[in-house]
Amino acid sequence: MASQDNQLLSLFSAAEVEFLAEDELINIVPSVRMDTLHMICGDYGPFRPQIPAQVPLWLGVALKKRGKCRIQPPDWMTVEKLTQVLEDEREAPREFQPLPFHYVEISRLLFDHSQDDISDFYLIRSLVEDVRDVRFHKVEKGLETLSGRTHAVKLKNLSAMEVNLIRPFIVKALESFYKHDSEDLVKQVDSERDSQLAAADRLPRRTLRPR
Amino acid sequence: MEGDVAGSSRGNGADSSARFRNSEELQDWMNEEGDGSADMSASDVDMLKRAWRNEKAAPEVLPFQTLLVERVREQILLMEDNLVAFSGEISEELMLSLYRMDLDRTLFLLRAYLRTRLNKIEKFALHVLKAQELWDRLSEQEQDYAQRFTDSLHKHFQQTVLGKLPYGYQSIMKQATSSEEDDMIPEPNLDTFVFCRSKRAIGAFQLDEKGDETVDLMADDLYILRYRPIKDLLDNDRIELV
């Protein structure tokens, strides 16, 4: 649990992000009859053979593992849709295409557990991987545009896993920019102030800032 | 005698009206809470999930979700009881195992929330102990924990290091007695940056005291913003951290 102790306290582990993704809803086609499940996280069912039902991903995967249902891949998980997304991702160097916030985790879970329910599985898998690579390359490119004057970064359509990957770096970078930025301000306006005071790192910057 | 009776009846009257007022207040408060949250349809589990995410992403300790945790805890207990009661009855092995998975997930979520908080409380125990406003954000058990944690920490430092230092350098709070402020207490960095998202459009939002920097907060878009200016939005549940 070393990662919990250091200053990256706010970092979600990959398993935690997956846990969050498992609550996304998905359609299944049950092969068994089962009454409505009144769960803490909500009511699901009733389940009738061959009648599609909407359940959280974890429930779908649990049923699938026991051979009690088929999982219907989500709308965006088709060869046509993904080819289109990949093309658009490549064409727009500064934008991200709208995909579910948890698309990485969802596809991972489906690839692992419900491979036989996905038509063109190998093609789909390589398309998702390509999309992911293109997007991540863009994220890295985007990081280069950060500068000292960056106070807000807008990340339209960035997904959970992508957020998680860049979080440690980008937060540190922005923090450092912010810190040195405000130190500049302090020096310009208040240069005669006791240098010892400015050196005390933990003092809140606010108190030093001109009003 | 008569006076006594009158007195006691008046007492009762006051008592019941007070109780009534309280329950009314409670009602109002609960309504308000319902209105304040981002969407009414959100289940307790969803709300706890959001609380966990916020807690994990925020640099400081956030107010404890007393009512929410209580409700989730009740649901967990209820489910545990039901499972015990049904375990003989439900012939469906499958249903039982699904219910158990649901229960395990909720338990995990609750534990994750509480542990994230404890982690932060340990980290900033001295800081939290110093400010009433922060102290009030903790649950009773957390306050107890924070108190005992600092006591142990204090004792440990005293025995191993501080007690052996020259006079004037023995405080756990200060570098030396000549320090004007308590300068040895770890504090959360409120000027860190967080990833956040809003359910509804908030519009132009001011990011610094002078108003030079504004950002147009659109619904469902993701932003990286400095924590300090958006703190109030988080308190009012208008944004969530991711």
Domain boundaries of chain A, sorted by first residue: 11-72, 75-185
Q: Which two tokens stand for residue A204?
A: 């809140």
CA distance A80 to A82: 6
Tell me which chain A residue has its CA closest to the CA of residue B194.
A171
Within a domain: B193:
yes
- Percent of chain B topping pLDDT 90: 54
Phi, psi of B205 (to 5 degrees): -130, 135
Give the pLDDT of residue B91: 65
User: Which residue in the block uniquely carries the two structure tokens 């009314």?
Assistant: B24
Give the CA radius of gyration of chain B.
Answer: 24
Within a domain: B203:
yes
Residue A40 vs residues A44, A89, A160, B67: alpha-carbon distances, Å: 11, 39, 25, 16
Q: How close A32 comes to chain B (CA, Å)?
A: 10
In sequence order, which residues have a C-beta less than 8 Å from that of residue A47 and are 6 or more positions away?
A30, A32, A33, A34, A35, A53, A69
Out of 3.80.10.10, 1.10.645.10, 3.40.640.10, 1.20.58.1020, the CATH code matching A75-185 is 1.20.58.1020
Q: Counting every residue, how long is chain B?
A: 242
Give the count of alpha carbons within 13 A of B8, CB side only: 4
Higher pLDDT, B67 or A153: B67
Residues B71-99 have a mean pLDDT of: 87
Report residue B200's pLDDT band, with 50, 70 and 90 as the boundaries: confident
Within a domain: B31:
no
CA A153 to chain centre: 16
Q: Which pLDDT tens digit goes with each residue over B16-68? A: 333 334 444 444 444 444 444 444 568 999 999 999 999 999 999 999 999 99
Give the pLDDT of residue B241: 93
Q: How close A79 comes to chain B (CA, Å)?
A: 27
CB-based contact B138:B146 (threshold 8 Å): yes
Tell me which chain A residue has its CA closest to the CA of residue B181.
A203
Q: How close A40 comes to chain B (CA, Å)?
A: 7
Report residue A204's pLDDT band, with 50, 70 and 90 as the boundaries: very low
Report residue B3's pLDDT band, with 50, 70 and 90 as the boundaries: very low
CA distance A80 to A100: 17
Beta carbons of B222 and A20 less than 8 Å apart: no
Per-range mean pLDDT, top range of A5-19, A42-56, A154-168, B28-42: A42-56
Residues A97-103 have a mean pLDDT of: 95
Give the pLDDT of residue B148: 96
Within a domain: B216:
yes
A11-72 against A75-185: fold identical: no
Which of B192, B222, B233 is the best substitution to test chain A (most A C-beta atoms within 10 A)?
B222
Interface of chain A toward chain B, CB-CB under 8 angstroms: 4, 9-10, 12, 16, 19-20, 22-23, 32, 34-35, 37, 39-42, 58-59, 62-63, 66, 68, 151-158, 160, 163, 167, 170-171, 174-175, 178-179, 200, 202, 205
Instruction: Please list every residue in chain A whose beta carbon sits closer than 8 Å to the beta carbon of residue B175.
Output: none
Give the pLDDT of residue B22: 44
Per-range mean pLDDT, top range of B54-68, B78-92, B195-209: B54-68
**Residue A154 pLDDT greater than 60, yes or no:** yes
Residues A182-186 have a mean pLDDT of: 61
CB-based contact A68:A32 (threshold 8 Å): yes
Give the pLDDT of residue B40: 54
Beta carbons of A35 and B95 less than 8 Å apart: yes
Out of 3.40.1010.10, 3.40.50.2300, 3.40.5.50, 3.40.50.720, the CATH code matching A11-72 is 3.40.5.50
Average pLDDT in chain A: 83
Within a domain: B236:
yes
- Percent of chain B topping pLDDT 70: 81
Q: What's B242's domain CATH number?
A: 3.40.5.60
Q: How close B198 comes to chain A (CA, Å)?
A: 12
**Residue A60 pLDDT greater than 70, yes or no:** yes
Within a domain: B229:
yes
Instruction: Please list every residue in chain A whose beta carbon sits closer than 8 Å to the beta carbon of residue B193.
Output: 170-171, 174-175, 178
In sequence order, which residues have a C-beta less than 8 Å from that of residue A8 and are 6 or more positions away?
A168
**Residue A183 pLDDT greater than 70, yes or no:** no
Beta carbons of A155 and B224 less than 8 Å apart: yes
Give the pLDDT of residue B90: 61
Give the CA radius of gyration of chain A.
Answer: 24
Q: Which pLDDT tens digit goes with each residue over B89-141? A: 666 788 899 999 999 999 999 999 999 999 999 999 999 999 999 999 999 99
Beta-carbon pairs below 8 A across chains A and B: 111
3-state SS, one letter per residue, for A26-47: EEEEECCCECCEEECCEEECCE
Beta carbons of B195 and A9 less than 8 Å apart: no
Domain assignment of residue B212, given as a range: 189-242
Higher pLDDT, B10 or A94: A94
Instruction: Please list every residue in chain A whose beta carbon sits closer than 8 Å to the beta carbon of residue B191.
Output: 175, 178-179, 205
Instruction: Please list every residue in chain A whose beta carbon sits closer than 8 Å to the beta carbon of residue B189.
Output: 175
Instruction: Please list every residue in chain A whose beta carbon sits closer than 8 Å to the beta carbon of residue B95.
Output: 34-35, 37
Of A11-25, A85-99, B163-177, the one with minimum mean pLDDT is B163-177
Q: What is the DSSP string of chain B?
A: -HHHHHHHHHHHHHHHHHHHHHHHHHHHHHHHHHHHSS-TT--HHHHHHHHHHHHHHSSSPPPP-HHHHHHHHHHHHHHHHHHHHHTTT---HHHHHHHHHHHHHHHHHHHHHHHHHHHHHHHTHHHHHH-HHHHTTS-HHHHHHHHHHHHHHHHHHHHHTGGGSPTTS--SS-SSTT-SS--SS----TTSEEEEEESS--EEEE-STTS--EEEE-TT-EEEEEHHHHHHHHHTTSEEE-
Average pLDDT in chain B: 82
* B14-33 CB burial, b ≥16 within 10 A, e <16: eeeeeeeeeeeeeeeeeeee
Of A139, A82, A138, residue with least CA distance to A106: A82
Tell me which chain A residue has its CA closest to the CA of residue B59.
A10
Phi, psi of A25 (to 5 degrees): -85, 150
Note whether ipTM > 0.95 here.
no
Instruction: Please list every residue in chain B whose beta carbon sits closer than 8 Å to the beta carbon of residue A66.
Output: 94
Domain count, chain B: 1
Give the pLDDT of residue B124: 94
CA distance B213 to B176: 40
Report residue A30's pLDDT band, with 50, 70 and 90 as the boundaries: very high
Q: How close B56 comes to chain A (CA, Å)?
A: 5
Residues A98-124 have a mean pLDDT of: 95
Give the pLDDT of residue A185: 56
Of A6, A2, A8, A7, residue with least CA distance to A166: A8
